[in-house]
Chains A and B, each alone.
Chain A
């Protein structure tokens, strides 16, 4: 259905070498608005490298990226953020010593002018943070709480809130439930579902079949740095996807 319109994000022929090692070879990927794409693969299959290429952290050795049909060259994470392409890293990339609000706006803090100097607008940070957390139905005691005081699930929620605070169009999540207690997994998956409903394209990298089959619409498997298989969720099964991860069709 959605394949008839232009994908939000499309990667064509992505190849990435690290010295003599080929991490990715001629990999293609696309994701549409409101769709969740699951990316699976064994350790070393190239999932994380692919995501880092998509987020502008790595420059591909070959291949191109198209965003809303237009070719884009990403020089840094800032470039991809400006396009509306956000990444939630596995290690969460949050500064534990800073409060929730300052983490969400890190690098893009709202400021107010005081004469000729620009000062951080803490009231605005707090206001925007509370509104955004409310929108995503994320419960925390206060936006002033330091991130290091939060549970794993709350941190993941903050990381997702951070990625969507600036009108993100595509959110890429690397193992979003890997470090979570079981009761927190459901909340994060709910969050992903509500993101989809707002028209965001979501890419989820995960080892957990439960995650993939709960939130994804389509799944693709990488094997040794190449596209191995791809299917709509309705046309495949857990066992088949697990087979793909191990390189069996």
Chain B
């Protein structure tokens, strides 16, 4: 009897690290299988898969930015507004006739500066919680975006500006058909996620971001300049929102007042589904990617099945609660003695 218990326990100990790391991918695979069974002809078709990636492209940038912030035990509610403001600045600059390379760079700079503003506000003004600062800038940035654009959509960008969101990489040289192309936005997601994976896991600054989330006092006692790291994190989050704006500009060919409305909540949801903890110090880049994918596939699959968007809201909300509950259960098992 005791032997059996011991065996189960050691099995737990062996499995736990893998479950913690890859459990969320398992959920993703299960979802893909279920969707495939429900929609065998459409769901895994080239067209639909690329569609999913195009749909999640800009959300994946916001989610990655918010994820870094959440790792420090912070929150950024302003990413949707940063993206909207960056998009509006891009649109205004494009309409003013600036060359494409200037237009392409403006949202990145604008996003970075918005993030810097958040970071400096949180640290210099000694805000009791980043929630407050970024709740404020959620309004400030969107308001500013409407002020500079007059609250009306601005449409029509050149192909160079639209390349990241709209571009296609032809794969006919591989013997594939013309309709079987690779969206540029998918390649961009891969590159950005790999860079940030390396940054968070293999650089000193990345390690310090996790340390701050784990115990800010430990980080401080180790001589880490916590405020400086926080400013970097919020700035990078803004920068990623700027990339999101550039992708969205390509996808919609327009700067519009409702861009990214409530997308901060989608970004947070993707992080939480992907295993990040609000208490900080926990979560992986791979998990965030899985979180973004799960939300994207859910929306896509439900659309394919003609489920009303109201039901989609109910389901996404339920998945958030369920994902975190599974996490709680898993932790209980993991700490079993």
| B partners with A | yes
Binding site for B on A (CB under 8 A): 57, 76-78, 81, 87, 89, 91-98, 102-103, 106-109, 111, 117-120
Interface string of B129-157 (1 = CB under 8 A from A): 00000000000000000000000000000
Question: Is the pair B219, A95 in contact by a Cβ cutoff of 8 Å?
Answer: yes
A78 and B225 CA atoms in complex are apart in Å by 10
- Distance of A144 from chain B, by nearest CB (Å): 10
Residues from 196 to 217 in B contacting A, C-beta threshold 8 Å: 198, 202-204, 207-208, 210-211, 213-215, 217
Question: Is the pair B281, A87 in contact by a Cβ cutoff of 8 Å?
Answer: no
Give the chain B neighbours of A106 by CB distance below 8 A.
207-208, 211, 218-219, 222, 224
Which residue of A has the minimal Cβ distance to B277?
A97
Contact of A97 among B204, B222, B282 (CB under 8 A): B282
Give the chain A neighbours of B190 by CB distance below 8 A.
none
Question: Is the pair B203, A118 in contact by a Cβ cutoff of 8 Å?
Answer: yes
Give the chain B neighbours of A117 by CB distance below 8 A.
203
Question: Is the pair B207, A102 in contact by a Cβ cutoff of 8 Å?
Answer: yes
| Residue B221 interfacial (CB < 8 Å) | yes
Question: Is the pair A78, B215 in contact by a Cβ cutoff of 8 Å?
Answer: no
Give the chain B neighbours of A81 by CB distance below 8 A.
223
Contact of A77 among B198, B211, B222 (CB under 8 A): B222
Give the chain B neighbours of A76 by CB distance below 8 A.
223
Question: Is the pair B281, A89 in contact by a Cβ cutoff of 8 Å?
Answer: no
Question: Is the pair B214, A120 in contact by a Cβ cutoff of 8 Å?
Answer: no
Give the chain B neighbours of A78 by CB distance below 8 A.
223
Main SS class of interface, B: helix
A57 and B223 CA atoms in complex are apart in Å by 10
Question: Is the pair A107, B222 in contact by a Cβ cutoff of 8 Å?
Answer: yes
Which residue of A has the minimal Cβ distance to B71?
A97
- Distance of A90 from chain B, by nearest CB (Å): 11
The interface size of chain B toward A, counting residues with CB under 8 Å, comes to 21
Known A98-B211, A109-B207, A120-B207; contact A87-B218, beta-carbon cutoff 8 A: no
Main SS class of interface, A: loop
Give the chain A neighbours of B217 by CB distance below 8 A.
89, 91, 93
Question: Is the pair A111, B204 in contact by a Cβ cutoff of 8 Å?
Answer: yes
Which residue of A has the minimal Cβ distance to B221?
A93
A64 and B213 CA atoms in complex are apart in Å by 35
Give the chain A neighbours of B220 by CB distance below 8 A.
77
Question: Is the pair B210, A98 in contact by a Cβ cutoff of 8 Å?
Answer: yes
- Distance of B336 from chain A, by nearest CB (Å): 12
Give the chain A neighbours of B198 by CB distance below 8 A.
119
Known A97-B281, A111-B204; contact A77-B214, beta-carbon cutoff 8 A: no
Greatest chain A CB density within 10 A among B198, B219, B221 is at B221
A81 and B198 CA atoms in complex are apart in Å by 29
A102 and B222 CA atoms in complex are apart in Å by 12
A81 and B281 CA atoms in complex are apart in Å by 25
A120 and B200 CA atoms in complex are apart in Å by 11
Known A97-B281, A102-B207; contact A107-B215, beta-carbon cutoff 8 A: no
Which residue of B has the minimal Cβ distance to A106?
B222
Question: Is the pair A103, B218 in contact by a Cβ cutoff of 8 Å?
Answer: yes
Extra contacts besides A77-B220, A98-B207, A109-B204 (20): CB < 8 Å: A95-B218, A96-B281, A97-B213, A97-B214, A97-B281, A97-B282, A98-B210, A98-B211, A98-B214, A102-B207, A106-B207, A106-B208, A106-B222, A107-B208, A107-B223, A107-B224, A108-B222, A108-B223, A120-B203, A120-B204
Question: Is the pair A95, B223 in contact by a Cβ cutoff of 8 Å?
Answer: no
Give the chain B neighbours of A77 by CB distance below 8 A.
220-223
Interface string of B258-288 (1 = CB under 8 A from A): 0000000000000000000000011000000
A102 and B211 CA atoms in complex are apart in Å by 9
Q: Which 9 residue pairs of A and B lie closest in terms of their CB atoms, listed nearest first?
A: A95-B214, A107-B222, A78-B223, A97-B281, A97-B214, A93-B221, A93-B218, A106-B222, A95-B215
Question: Is the pair B215, A93 in contact by a Cβ cutoff of 8 Å?
Answer: yes
A190 and B281 CA atoms in complex are apart in Å by 33
A97 and B203 CA atoms in complex are apart in Å by 17
**6 A-B pairs in the complex with CB atoms less than 8 angstroms apart:** A57-B221, A93-B222, A94-B215, A95-B215, A96-B281, A98-B211
A95 and B208 CA atoms in complex are apart in Å by 10
A93 and B203 CA atoms in complex are apart in Å by 21
Give the chain B neighbours of A94 by CB distance below 8 A.
215, 218
Residues from 11 to 31 in B contacting A, C-beta threshold 8 Å: none
Give the chain B neighbours of A87 by CB distance below 8 A.
221
Give the chain B neighbours of A97 by CB distance below 8 A.
210, 213-214, 281-282
Give the chain B neighbours of A93 by CB distance below 8 A.
215, 217-218, 221-222
Contact of A107 among B202, B214, B219 (CB under 8 A): B219
A193 and B273 CA atoms in complex are apart in Å by 49
Greatest chain A CB density within 10 A among B211, B220, B222, B224 is at B222
Question: Is the pair A119, B213 in contact by a Cβ cutoff of 8 Å?
Answer: no
Greatest chain B CB density within 10 A among A91, A94, A96, A106 is at A106
Give the chain A neighbours of B204 by CB distance below 8 A.
109, 111, 118, 120
Give the chain B neighbours of A95 by CB distance below 8 A.
210-211, 214-215, 218-219, 281
